[in-house]
Amino acid sequence: MPITINDTPHELPDDPRVSLLDFLRHHAGLTGTKKGCDHGQCGACTVLVNGMRINSCLSLAVMHDGDSVTTIEGLGTPDAPSALQKAFVEHDGYQCGYCTPGQICSATAMMQEIANGWPSDASDDLEGPIKPSADEIRERMSGNLCRCGAYANIVAAIAEVAAEDAQ
């Protein structure tokens, strides 16, 4: 079975060493997803696989037979940005922009996780409803580093969209 990336099917690579990240960038030509550390520490390579966020650097492309992958290119376009893409622009949620695709993919999945009621380390109650507070957002986004340190604006962008979602 092929892998589907942003609704387009692709054949898997012959070499099992190809990471999902390298497959997206070099084989599928989708360079929005970024390589930062290549060791699962920085989150720049975050993509959605069957709706769940993962580090694409720590996954082999051949292990994604039949999976559906969404990258930053699949979330929106310059003419029709997603709510998070728009909020990052409006709040200046970046400086150099290198971590931004990973931040936005990660935050997109985070919205669904909160909607599912999944707790985090910052949740006071494991079983209660989740409020997307700044503490919750910081904890849930701790897998995405921003070397420019635009965190305050990243949190503001995500908080705005989370508040809209909650209404």
Partner 1 sequence: MKPFRYSRPDSLDHAGQLTSDADARAIAGGTNLIDLMKLQVETPQQLVDINTLSLGEIADAENGGLSIGALATNTATAAHPRVRSDYPVLARAILAGATQQLRNKATTGGNLCQRTRCYYFTNIDQPCNKREPGSGCGAIDGIARLHAVLGTSPHCIATYPGDMAVAMAALDATVQIIGPAGERSVPVRDFHRLPGDTPEKDNVLEAGEVITAVTLPAPVGGKQLYRKVRERSSYAFALVSVAAVVEMDGGRIARADLAFGGLAHKPWHDPRLSELLVGEEPTAALFDKAADLLLEDAQGYGENDFKIPLARRALAATLAEATGAEL
Under rule CB under 8 A, residue 71 binds partner 1: no
Euclidean distance between CA atoms 105 and 115, whole angstroms: 16
**Contact between 153 and partner 1 (CB under 8 A)?**
no
| 79 close to 32: Cβ distance less than 8 angstroms | no
Q: Is 33 in the site for partner 1 (CB under 8 A)?
A: no
How many other C-beta atoms are found inside a 10 Å radius of the C-beta of residue 117? 11
116 binds partner 1 (CB under 8 A): yes
| Alpha-carbon gap, residue 124 to 105, rounded angstroms | 26
Radius of gyration of the chain (CA): 16
Q: Does 143 bind partner 1 (CB under 8 A)?
A: yes
Stretch that binds partner 1, among 52-60, 84-92, 147-155, 159-167 (CB under 8 A): 52-60
Contacts of 24 (CB under 8 A, 6+ apart): 5, 30, 33, 47, 56, 69, 71
Nearer to partner 1, 89 or 138 (CB): 138
Q: Which candidate, 49, 53, 55, 52, places its Cα nearest to that of 67?
A: 49
Contact between 63 and partner 1 per CB under 8 A: yes
Determine the distance from the C-alpha atom of residue 149 to the mean position of all C-alpha atoms in its chain, rounded to a whole number: 18
CB of 40 to partner 1, least distance (A): 6
Decide: helix, strand or coil at residue 63. helix
CB of 103 to partner 1, least distance (A): 12
- Minimum distance of partner 1 from residue 156's CB (angstroms): 19
Chain positions contacting partner 1, by CB under 8 A: 16-17, 19, 38-40, 43, 46, 52-55, 58-60, 62-63, 106, 109-110, 113, 116, 118-121, 123, 126-127, 138-140, 142-143
